[in-house]
Structures are given as C-alpha cells and as structure tokens.
Amino acid sequence: MKTIGILTGGGDAPGLNAVIRAVVKTAYGVYGCEVIGIRQGFEGFLSSDGTTPLTVDSVRGILPRGGTILGAANRGNPFARKVVREGIEIIEDASEEVVKRIDEWGLDCLIVVGGDGTLRISLELFEKGCPVIGIPKTIDNDVGGTDVSFGYDTAVAIATEAIDRLHTTAESHHRVMVLELMGRQAGFIALEAGLAGGADAILIPEIPFSFESVFAKIRAREKSERHFSIIVVAEGAYPAGGDQIFQVKSNRLGGIGHLVAERIESETGIETRVTVLGHLQRGGSPTAYDRWLATRFGAAAVRLADQSAYGRMVVLRGTEIQDLTLMDALAEPKIINLDNDAVRTTRDLGISLGD
Ligand code: F6P
C-alpha cells in the first residue's frame, strides 16, 4: 500500500477532521504511505484542482475543529451529476471519470467518509472495481450496521443544551416551547435529547402523532400547576393521517415545529414559541465522544486498507470497532426500534410520544 485517498461527502458533521487526522497519522506513522485529500466530496475527482496532499503537518491542530478541511458537497453524486450543456441543465453519469482518476492517481484505496447517500455511491464505485472503504458519518445516526456514527453525540449535546435553555425561559413566561430538531426519517436526535433534557412530549417520525394527545399532555400539566411545557419535534415527524412537511424552495424537511406550535396555541390558548435549531446541530467542535469514535474509525479504516478489505465499512458494535460489507450496512436505513429500552423509558417517565 503506497497511497490512500480520502474524501468527506454529504453534509458535514462534527468529527470529520478527527477522522482525517487519524487516517493521515496512521497511514504515515504505521504504514509509511502517502495520503491524498480529495476536495468537496466526489467533485474533487472531476475538477482540475480537486486534490491536496495531506501530511502529518497539514493535519496538526484539526482534532477539535468542526467542519472538514477537505470540504463537503451533498449534491456531488458522480452517477447523476448536474451539468450545464449549451445552456441546458442535464444529468450526466461521470462515474467512469472517477474510476479513471483513482487509477491515474495511483490510489491503492479510497476512504470515503459519509452518510447513507455518500456510502451508497461508494458501494456503486466498489461494484465498478474501485478499492473503496467506508466510514459512517451522520448527526442523524441513521446509517445501518453501526450502533453509532460520529457527529451524533455532538448534535444530541447541542440539542440537550437548547432544551435546558428553553426550560428556564418557558418556566418564567408560562409558555409552551416547541423545539424542532434535525434527523431526516429518524427520530434519534429528538428522542435522546428529549429524554436527556426532560421534554414533556417528543414527536418522532417513527410514531405518527395525534395533536389531541399533545394538547392533552399540556392540559394535564396546566392542571397540575405546571404552567409551561417543552415539546421536542423531529423534523420528520408528522400527524397520523397527514404528511411530512418540506420547505417549498429547497424541498428539504422542515416546518413541522411551526405547525405544531400554531395548533397548540390556537387549541390551548397558551402562548407558544418555536425554535428551529437547524445547522447549529452540525457546526462547531465535536464532543470528546465524537473525537474518540472518529479517531478510532479513521485508524481502523487504514488497517482495513492494509488488508485490501475493500467494499467494507468500519462500524461500532457495543464498544468494539468492527467492519462489515457496505452492502450489508446499507441494506436498510436505520430508524428507532420502537421496542427498545429508550422508547420504553420515555413512556415510563410519562413523556408523551404523541400517540
Ligand atoms: O443528514 C444531516 C442533515 O443535517 C439532516 O438532519 C437534515 O435534514 C439535512 O442534513 C439538512 O441538509 P442541508 O445541510 O443540505 O440543509
């Protein structure tokens, strides 16, 4: 093994720089091989200045930094690339270019750090013969095969702090505070932060909710002299019989928090405010846990590269780092298993799940 390429694809997540650092330090320190960084996800393969050499010097000091020094692009699918030809936007398959570049640049292995979408692209490239190894990254925690992805712990910590802060102002003003959190089709961030922050209701995509049940929870609290409530809503949550809410322009999930707040205020008469935490959940320094996990993932991916174990992804199972095929990891998207202990604990504590 002489040269490893690494790219960070999809949206950013706290811990990406910790992975890059671990890959570089392990590759040079243990195996004496070079590392080439590919900029802006797979786009780096298709542009003239898409690479940067990564040395131990160039990764110095990046461990606690959020974002990614390589840049990320969540519209960079080489199998369906948007390009403008003669003034018209068309979709082109540029995957052969990527395959060619991997060969031309002499990459013995390409480490791809990404979420569900990026890892699916990696699997397709592997099926075309590319020496790919995956590392799961996402604040949503929705990549299959691994108990946790890095980025998730930081997002939960930020969301929990937001709930704590909303608590004090909600209590002072006797208000209902609705907090909309990210997570796409999975409610992991909302459930864990809601439980950690002591929310009164947690609405997740895995359990379509009833407005009546949320109103009933708030009214019960009023009756027992608790004149404020905290309602945590995952961006993918939706009312039973209704639909998820998408932003009109971007077609991205978002807006359910406002709908829930409007309905609460008009139905209960209690002053209600909404906070959409948004990208604050993705920015800034990773927690110690995410640095620890990202570092272990990075080093383990280089070990896999040394064994030419391509088409595989590093995962965390319990406390151990293991690996499995990208195909197995991506077989099913990960969502909350409603039989699990966290869901049961939420109910045991009297927190409404909206059902
Ligand atoms: O997958 C991570 C995530 O932050 C989701 O939770 C969210 O729905 C989406 O990305 C937002 O994407 P963008 O950064 O493109 O707005």
Q: Closest ligand 1 atom, CA of 11?
A: 14
CB 231 within 8 Å of CB 273: no
Q: Is 137 in the pocket of ligand 1 (CB under 6 A)?
A: no
Assess whether pLDDT exceeds 80 at residue 322.
Answer: yes
Centre of ligand 1 from the C-alpha of residue 11, in Å: 6
CA of residue 28 to ligand 1 center, whole Å: 33
Is there an atom of ligand 1 within 6 Å of 78 CB?
A: no
> Which atom from ligand 1 is nearest to the alpha carbon of 235?
8
Mean pLDDT, the chain, integer:
97
Q: Is the pLDDT of residue 176 over 80?
A: yes
Which 3-state string (H, E, C) describes the chain? Answer: CCEEEEEECCCCCCCHHHHHHHHHHHHHHHHCCEEEEECCHHHHHHCCCCEEEECCCCCCCCCCCCCCCCCCCCCCCHHHEEEEECCEEEEECCHHHHHHHHHHCCCCEEEEEECHHHHHHHHHHHHCCCCEEEEEECCCCCCCCCCCCECHHHHHHHHHHHHHHHHHHHHHHCCEEEEEECCCCCCHHHHHHHHHHCCCEEECCCCCECHHHHHHHHHHHHHCCCCCEEEEEECCCCECCCCCCECCCCCCECCHHHHHHHHHHHHHCCCEEEEECHHHHCCCCCCHHHHHHHHHHHHHHHHHHHCCCCCEEEEEECCEEEEEEHHHHCCCCCCCCCCCHHHHHHHHCCCECCC
Those residues whose C-beta lies under 8 Å from the C-beta of residue 315, and which sit 6 or more positions away, are 136, 145, 146, 147, 321, 322, 323, 324, 329
Q: Residue 281 pLDDT > 90, yes or no?
A: yes
Q: Whose CA is nearest to atom 4 of ligand 1?
A: 182
**Which residue owns the Cα nearest ligand 1 atom 12?**
11
Question: Closest residue (by CA) to atom 13 of ligand 1?
Answer: 11
pLDDT recorded at residue 27: 98
Q: Which atom of ligand 1 is least distant from the CA of 250? A: 16
334, pLDDT greater than 80? yes
Task: Give pLDDT, residue 277.
Answer: 98
pLDDT at 4: 98
**pLDDT score, position 225:** 96
CB of 184 sitting under 6 A from ligand 1: yes
pLDDT at 75 over 80: no
Q: Categorize the per-residue pLDDT at 316 as very low, low, confident or very high, splitting at 50, 70 and 90.
A: very high
pLDDT per position as a tens digit, 216-271: 999 999 999 999 999 999 999 999 999 999 998 888 999 999 999 999 999 999 99
Is there an atom of ligand 1 within 6 Å of 183 CB?
yes
Which residue lies with its CA nearest to atom 16 of ligand 1?
252
Does residue 122 carry a pLDDT above 80? yes
> Which residue, by CA, sits nearest to atom 15 of ligand 1?
11
Distance 105 CA to ligand 1 centre (A): 32
Ligand 1 pocket, residue 151 CB under 6 Å: no
Q: 64 CA distance to ligand 1 centroid (A)?
A: 21
Mean pLDDT of all residues in 201-214: 98
Measured from the CB, is residue 74 less than 6 Å from ligand 1?
A: yes
Q: What local confidence, expressed as pLDDT, does residue 350 receive? A: 97
Q: What is the tens place of the pLDDT at every residue in 9-40?
A: 999 999 999 999 999 999 999 999 999 999 99
- Ligand 1 atom 8 nearest Cα: 184
Q: Is the CB of 163 under 6 A from ligand 1?
A: no
> Long-range contacts for 24-32 (Cβ within 8 Å, ≥24 apart)?
24/54, 24/55, 24/56, 24/58, 24/59, 25/56, 25/59, 25/299, 26/298, 26/299, 26/302, 26/303, 27/302, 27/305, 28/55, 28/56, 29/56, 30/302, 31/1, 31/302, 31/306
**Catalytic residue list:** 140
pTM of the model: 0.97
Q: Determine the average pLDDT of the residues in 166-174.
A: 98
Report in angstroms the alpha-carbon separations of 117 from 136, 291, 333, 349: 11, 23, 11, 36
As a whole number, mean pLDDT of residues 147-172 equals: 98
> Terminus-to-terminus CA distance in the chain, angstroms?
54
With a 6 A CB cut-off, is 11 part of the ligand 1 pocket? yes
Q: Say how many Å lie between the CA of residue 241 and the centre of ligand 1.
A: 25
CA of 188 to the centre of ligand 1 (A): 14
- Reply yes or no on whether the pLDDT at 74 is more than 80: no
Q: Does the beta carbon of 115 sit less than 6 angstroms from any atom of ligand 1? A: yes
Give the per-residue pLDDT at 11: 93
